[in-house]
Structure formats: structure tokens, C-alpha cells
A and B are shown apart, each in its own frame.
Chain A
Amino acid sequence: TGHQFILTEYFCFL
């Protein structure tokens, strides 16, 4: 149910 976002859509690699 629903689309699962991933963290790299919010946080950038250092």
C-alpha cells in the first residue's frame, strides 16, 4: 500500500 520513498530522496551523500 502506497509508494515507499527512499532516504536518498531526502538526505545527500557526504
Chain B
Amino acid sequence: MLEARLEQSSVLKKVVDAIKDLVQDCNFDCNDSGIQLQAMDNSHVALVAMHLKTEGFALYRCDRNIALGINLVSLQKVLRAAQNEDVMTLKAEDSPDALSLVFENSENDRISEYDLKLMDIDQEHLGIPETEYGATVKMPSAEFQRICRDLSLLSESVAIEATKEGIKFSCTGDIGKGAVTLRQNPNVEKPELGTTIELQEPVALTFSLKYLVNFCKASGLSNTVTISLSNEVPLLIEYEMEHGYVRFYLAPKIGD
């Protein structure tokens, strides 16, 4: 059986908020390394991979591998009943038809108990090879979100170019064009506010802004985001948590 306790409900609430517009039904795979999820969007253009490691749980017990087939819209309805600071306990039998969620406030005088019906989801997993990326950019997640939102008002697509001068996001649309260039600017006192660029080789790729704006819903998970790019392979965007991560992969666009 599974028994997993999070000190703060906000962790799972933020993860579900971050991915629910990309995928609808997915398996939460529970095993002795924690809770993992991998799912593609319906169009097979984007993929989300999530891992909540056992170290991030106040209590974690999972005797055998359990797949929790969850509709994320339904899960979000139940999670609305949890306050951010509540302790959350997830429980499931070995072959469960429901997931039990218990929310307890810090004063220990309120216990909320919910059951979420599970579904059988036949989900295939993709093998994602270890990749040496041509460019890796670490920047404040709020700034990346702002750039994607601003450019999405002008165009459907953004060209991302990483060179030794910096990383340039540019787009062209019906009303005009726009570009934002970030130069390497490490912040010694507050590293989470700085921008660092590791460049092995120049990279130039084009991506759909609709998906990037969607990924930015994970900005609440981390102050920083890591963007990894190589020519002619999918983009990797990672939001690292204290004990886990949410990663998004996005296939590129080619030509005009």
C-alpha cells in the first residue's frame, strides 16, 4: 500500500496547477523512489515529467509499485479543499480504485477526508535519452514567464537563439515584431535573480509560444527555471523543487 505525507499541501497543489492544462488524465506512478508522472499532451508536441522524491515527504511508504490513474481536473477539485499549510496524507491500497486524501491543519483541530475515484489509464512512457545540451540557461522563472507572455501577444512562435552574446527571444507577428536579449549576469548575493548561460555551441530554434506560456504556470514551484537547448532536439524546461522537479519537453518548429 501507499502512504505518503506532505508537510505542506501547497507542494502538490502547485504541481497540479502547473500541469493540468497540458494533460488531463495521467498515472501517478508510486514506487520506492517517490511519486513520478510522465505524460504527453494530446497533440504529442509537449511532455511533462514530474518527480516528487521520497525525501520530500515527512512519511513515505510504498511496498510495491502502484499506478494511480488520476483525472487532474477531479484531483484539483479535491485539492481545493486543502489549505496551503495543511499537512496532506495520501493513501491507496495495492490495486486501488480510489485515492484517499486527508488534510489536517497545523493546529491539529481539523481533519478533512476525501476519496478520489481512480481510473485505468493505459499510458505509454517515452524513453528520454541523456542529452548534452548546446546551451543551458538558468534565469528567474518570473522573467521567463514575462518574456513568453509578452511575445505571445505578438506571435504564435518564438525564435530562441543562444550565442556567446547571450540568449535572444524574438518573434514576428501581424502587428510588428519584438525581441528580448538576456546577457549573462550572475547575481552573487541573490543567485536566484541572476542569469547564467553555459554555451557549448550556438543554438537557434523556434517554438510555439502557446506551449511555453502553458509551461510557465509552473513558475510558482521555483524562483528559477533552467532552459536547455540543442539544435534539432526538443527543448527542456526544468523547474527544480527542493526534493523533486517538474520538467517540460517541447518539440521544435521548423521553417516559415
Contact = CB atoms under 8 A, between A and B. Distances in A.
Contacts of B125: 13-14
A13 B45 contact: no
Interface in B162-184: none
A4 B253 contact: yes
Given A10-B233, A10-B234, A4 B45 contact: yes
B124 A14 contact: yes
B178 to A, nearest CB: 15
B127 A1 contact: no
Interface residues of B, number: 26
B254 interface: yes
Interface string B201-221: 000001010000000000000
Nearest to A8: B44
B126 A12 contact: yes
A6 B250 CA distance: 8
Interface string B15-44: 000000000000000000000000010011
Given A1-B156, A12-B127, A14-B125, A7 B253 contact: no
B44 A2 contact: no
Interface string B234-256: 10000000000000010111111
A4 to B, nearest CB: 5
B249 to A, nearest CB: 6
Contact of B206 (A2, A7, A10, A13): A2
Contacts of B128: 11
A5 B208 CA distance: 10
Interface of A: 1-14
26 contacts: A1-B157, A1-B253, A1-B256, A2-B206, A2-B256, A3-B254, A4-B45, A4-B208, A4-B251, A4-B253, A5-B45, A5-B253, A6-B44, A6-B251, A7-B40, A7-B45, A7-B47, A7-B249, A8-B44, A8-B126, A9-B251, A10-B234, A11-B127, A13-B125, A13-B126, A14-B126
